[in-house]
Structure 1
Amino acid sequence: MKNRFDKDAVTWDDLPRRVNLAKAVVKNIIPYLKGDEKVLEFGCGTGLVGINTAPYVKELTGIDTSAKMVEKFNQKAQKLNINAKAMVKDIFEISEKYDIVISSMTMHHIKDISLLSDKLSEITNEAFLADLVKEDGTFHTRGNEDVAHFGFSSEELNKYFGSWDIDYKIIHTITKHRDFPVFLLHIKK
């Protein structure tokens, strides 16, 4: 299956609403960082979140299923000379341990969130997950063929991540044909 994100990678960073969302996510994660962490970002895309988080941590690894997104991430990291690298992988292929896992706008593309919770339990004790609050399916104006969830309610998140300590807050609103709130879920063991 062709990865539509390969095509999107070229102009991904050109959309101000994507850049603004990434800034909001980074701003809300940075206060929790000590600077010595080994961090994994899944669904890293072009690095809008990860590359802006990298200066605050010891090491950042990005993973994405889109080769073109990973290529763009690595070009930016090299140009900025920061300790960040990305590779083409799926979160479920990761076995290495990380101090923190971060992700922005990726969870709604993952079919089995309970499996994701289990995977995160295997590889980390702390994660920051940003995604859409439950919506009506109209967020993706290009179609929903690769969308597994139309956002998440706080009740659903409590169910999926019930074995974790959970901090949930709305951190941003994406304005398209209507407003779409974005949450940041901070989970910790």
Structure 2
Amino acid sequence: MGNTDIFERMAAGYDIPERIHIARVAADAIRAYAGDAKDKAAVDFGCGTGLVGMNLLEDFRTLLFLDSSPNMIDRIRQKISELQIPNADTLCLDLEQETGAELKADYIFMVQVLLHIPEIEPVLARLYEALPPGGHLLVVDFDKNEHIVSDLVHNGFHQGELISLMKHIGFTEVKAETFYTGKQIFMNQDASMFILDAHK
């Protein structure tokens, strides 16, 4: 997946206070949209070291931590083992290169992942295929930010454009809203974050 080599190098020192805080904020937003999903299977797509998903373990029946970085997956495996978490598993998979045919879940959430994927439509289409009818894809990412210029990441997304793309892929009901604004949270720039709920 996009920028995997960078995350391989970052894995050991990834869990800094700023990222832990943003992960909690994102998890709260996901929890509000997921509602009562305690009997559902979920995937933390692009999980990194599991900072978001670890906050949501009690909200789903099972939670699969998925990332394309083996080092990130090693970190979350350590956490699952040390804390003896019974309803969590891991999968190292690059959905940009692989079909993900074995991937199935009622809910898939991804936090600040989409901005690292150069061609987002094929990946979103594969995630659509992983969901059953009635399933949800929850995307948390940055609103478009013209102050950011980078060859490595998208500089955020227009919610309306992303909603249109989701409907083009096949999602029947899509809604999005900005839920958080913070100082220097996106490449040292002030930025806002949205959550998008795409319902299959």
Q: So what's the TM-score if we normalise by structure 2?
A: 0.83
For residue 90 of structure 1, what is the aligned residue in structure 2? 94
Task: Kindly provide the CA deviation profile for residues 35-87 of structure 1, in whole angstroms up to 9, marking residues without a partner as x.
Answer: 01111111100000112112221111111111111111111122222221222
For residue 186 of structure 1, what is the aligned residue in structure 2? 197
The match for 2:60 among 50, 57, 71 is 57
| Unaligned 5+ runs, structure 1 | none
Runs of 4+ in 1 over 3 A off after TM superposition: none
Whole-Å Cα distance in 2 between the matches of residues 29 and 167 of structure 1?
A: 13
Whole-Å Cα distance in 2 between the matches of residues 61 and 55 of structure 1?
A: 13
2:123 alignment partner, SS class: helix
Give the length in aligned residue pairs.
183
Whole-Å Cα distance in 1 between the matches of residues 147 and 80 of structure 2?
A: 34
1:44 alignment partner, SS class: coil
Whole-Å Cα distance in 1 between the matches of residues 158 and 121 of structure 2?
A: 15
Shift of 1:145: 4.2
Aligned residue identity for 1:172: Y
1:23 alignment partner, SS class: helix
2:48 alignment partner, SS class: coil
For residue 13 of structure 1, what is the aligned residue in structure 2? 15
For residue 73 of structure 2, what is the aligned residue in structure 1? 70
Aligned residue identity for 1:45: G
The answer (yes or no) to whether the contact 1:117–1:160 under 8 Å persists in 2 is no
For residue 40 of structure 1, what is the aligned residue in structure 2? 43
Shift of 1:91: 2.9
Equivalent residues in 2 for 1:120-159 (5 A)?
A: 120-124=127-131, 125-136=135-146, 138=148, 144-147=150-153, 149-159=154-164
1:9 alignment partner, SS class: helix
Whole-Å Cα distance in 2 between the matches of residues 22 and 169 of structure 1?
A: 17
Whole-Å Cα distance in 2 between the matches of residues 33 and 146 of structure 1?
A: 37
For residue 171 of structure 1, what is the aligned residue in structure 2? 179
Query: Over aligned residues, Cα RMSD in angstroms?
Result: 1.9
1:98 alignment partner, SS class: coil
Shift of 1:97: 1.7
| Unaligned 5+ runs, structure 2 | none
